[in-house]
């Protein structure tokens, strides 16, 4: 599995588990909703700064975006 796919899946999973729309997450992370969608669809590679913003908004650690199912 590619890293971009892992990040996309974990972002979507975290957002959905918190019952947030892409627009709501974008507002919390101070990014446009379409950027969130592009990351989730594996169209964009987010920067470290962007991952930090998203992690903060989702109350996660940046490393959580890189976990493969089953990782602790």
| Residue 68, domain member (yes or no) | no
Kindly tell me the burial class for residue 3, based on how many C-beta atoms sit within 10 Å of its own C-beta (0-12, 13-18, 19 or more).
exposed
pLDDT the model gives residue 1: 82
- Each of the 72 residues of the chain gets a pLDDT tens digit; together they read 899 999 999 999 999 999 999 999 999 999 999 999 999 999 999 999 999 999 999 999 999 999 997 565
Where residue 14 sits, what CATH number does that domain have? 1.10.260.40
Q: How far apart are CA 34 and CA 1, in angstroms?
A: 24
Q: Please report the pLDDT score of residue 35 as a whole number.
A: 97
pLDDT score at 72 = 55
Determine the structural domain holding residue 57 and report its residue range. 3-62
Sign of CA dihedral 67, 4, 49, 53: negative
Per-residue confidence (pLDDT) for residue 69, from 0 to 100: 77
- Is 70 part of a structural domain of the chain? no
* Residue at 71 is within a domain: no
Domain count, the chain: 1
Cα–Cα distance for residue pair 66/53, rounded to 1 Å: 15
Q: Is residue 21 part of a domain?
A: yes
Q: Is residue 16 part of a domain?
A: yes
pLDDT value, residue 70: 56
* 22 located within any domain: yes
What's the token pair of residue 4? 């971009």
The one-character DSSP state at 64 is: G
């Amino acid at each position: 599995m590619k890293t971009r796919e892992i990040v996309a899946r974990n972002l979507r999973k975290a957002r959905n588990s918190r019952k947030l729309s892409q627009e709501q997450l974008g507002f919390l992370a101070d990014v446009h909703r379409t950027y969130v969608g592009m990351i989730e669809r594996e169209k964009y590679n987010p920067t470290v700064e962007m991952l930090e913003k998203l992690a903060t908004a989702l109350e996660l650690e940046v490393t959580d975006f890189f976990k493969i199912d089953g990782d602790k």
